[in-house]
Amino acid sequence: MSIDNEILKCIRERRSNRRFTEAQIAPEQLDALLDAAIWAPSGGNNQSWLFTAVQKREALLQLNEIVREAFQRWTPDDDYPGKLTIGERAKKAGFSFYHNAPTLIIASNRPNYENAMADCALALQNIFLAARSLGLGSCYINQLHWLRDDPGVREYLFGLGVPKEHTICAAAAVGFAGAAAPAPARKKGTINIIR
Ligand SMILES: Cc1cc2nc3c(=O)[nH]c(=O)nc-3n(C[C@H](O)[C@H](O)[C@H](O)COP(=O)(O)O)c2cc1C
């Protein structure tokens, strides 16, 4: 590659980390991640998102149990491989939908807003890149989106301050990486240039 700089390197070197140490990230690091999130672009400059950062271990463990139970009675709404296997995975000891990360940032947004997912996804990528730049690991977490209409999950999230009417778009697991994540090869033929 002929052009390179720190941001391009950070983009290339960011990985989805699924192993974290128990150490919590510093308050300033969390502030930096959330600041990166709110500087993302949003459709029509809506900024109608809410980022709920959960660091309380007991809350994360309680949420995990609610999610674990919800998945055991959940019917996948399409044939996405991760959805087809989650019911069985949720039965296993040690199941953690957020990979036992010390921090989980939940991105929710106004309902019936067509850019809700796009806005939150862009903000999450800012979080992932900011995390990488601070020496932290991170991972996109989809399970709360899959369970966005589950009454038990919604009730618990409401208790954490996520508005009942909000749609849950996604979440980011963040912490210190406990192991290096391998870089999945990039598929060929996904770029088309017309000059
Ligand atoms: C929309 C989306 C949903 C994802 N959901 C999950 C998830 O629920 N759990 C997880 O561990 N990784 C999840 N990932 C991470 C992908 O598995 C990961 O980005 C992919 O394997 C490529 O690896 P890389 O991020 O290290 O390049 C998700 C990524 C995206 C973009």
Give the residue ranges of DSSP H helices in the chain.
Answer: 6-13, 27-38, 57-72, 81-89, 116-133, 143-146, 151-159
In the chain, domain spans: 17-175
Higher pLDDT, 35 or 1: 35
- The band of 1, judged by pLDDT with boundaries at 50, 70 and 90, is low
Cα 158 to ligand 1 centroid, rounded to whole Å: 26
Nearest CA to ligand 1 atom 27: 15
Cα 195 to ligand 1 centroid, rounded to whole Å: 32
Q: What angle do CA 49, 55, 58 make, to 5 degrees?
A: 120
Quick check: 36 and 136 in contact, CB under 8 A?
no
Architecture in CATH of 17-175: 3-Layer(aba) Sandwich (3.40)
The amino acid sitting at 129 is: L
Ligand 1 atom with minimal separation from the 99 CA: 11
Nearest CA to ligand 1 atom 23: 16
7-26 pLDDT, tens digit per residue, is 999 999 999 999 999 999 99
Cα 142 to ligand 1 centroid, rounded to whole Å: 8
136-148 pLDDT, tens digit per residue, is 999 999 999 999 9
Cα 126 to ligand 1 centroid, rounded to whole Å: 15
